[in-house]
Amino acid sequence: MKEYVNCTSCGAQFPAKEIRCPYCGTAYEPAAEEEYVGKLEDVRTELDQHKTDADKSTVKSLVRVILIFVAVVVILLVLGLAANILPNLGSRARQRENKEEFMQKYSVSTEEEN
Ligand SMILES: [Zn+2]
């Protein structure tokens, strides 16, 4: 970019970084545009920052939800195993008792037959 520019309105020379001619106030478009683009970049950077923050909190809450879900699944599995194993143990013991009872009855009845 040129260091100095001539005003398109009054022809005065002024630094190219000026947005307006310091003498007549006519807007110098390249500088004005550059400032506008710079502001847009600031807004975009700010928006990106907000988005990154939002993403981080979303990931945090998602991890929390997954942890809770896993904990619930583990608890259900443990409860399910307990509910399946304990009655089986009980019924297995009962089956053995029934079998012994049956065997005793059977041997008694066979003895009776004999
Ligand atoms: Zn001017």
Instruction: Tell me, in angstroms, the distance from the centre of ligand 1 to residue 38's CA.
Output: 24
pLDDT at 65 exceeding the cut of 80: yes
The confidence score (pLDDT) of residue 105 equals: 85
**For the chain, what is the radius of gyration of the CA atoms?**
43
| Helix/strand/coil percentages in the chain, nearest 5 | 75, 5, 20
**Alpha-carbon gap, residue 61 to 69, rounded angstroms:** 12
Instruction: Tell me, in angstroms, the distance from the centre of ligand 1 to residue 92's CA.
Output: 103
The confidence score (pLDDT) of residue 81 equals: 83
Instruction: Tell me, in angstroms, the distance from the centre of ligand 1 to residue 14's CA.
Output: 8
Q: What is the pLDDT of residues 12-58, one digit of tens each?
A: 999 988 888 999 998 888 888 888 899 999 999 999 998 888 888 88
Structure tokens at 110: 């066979």
Q: How confident is the model at residue 98 (pLDDT cuts 50, 70, 90)?
A: confident
The confidence score (pLDDT) of residue 1 equals: 56
Ion ligand 1, residue ranges at CB < 5 A: 7, 9-10, 12, 21, 23-24, 26
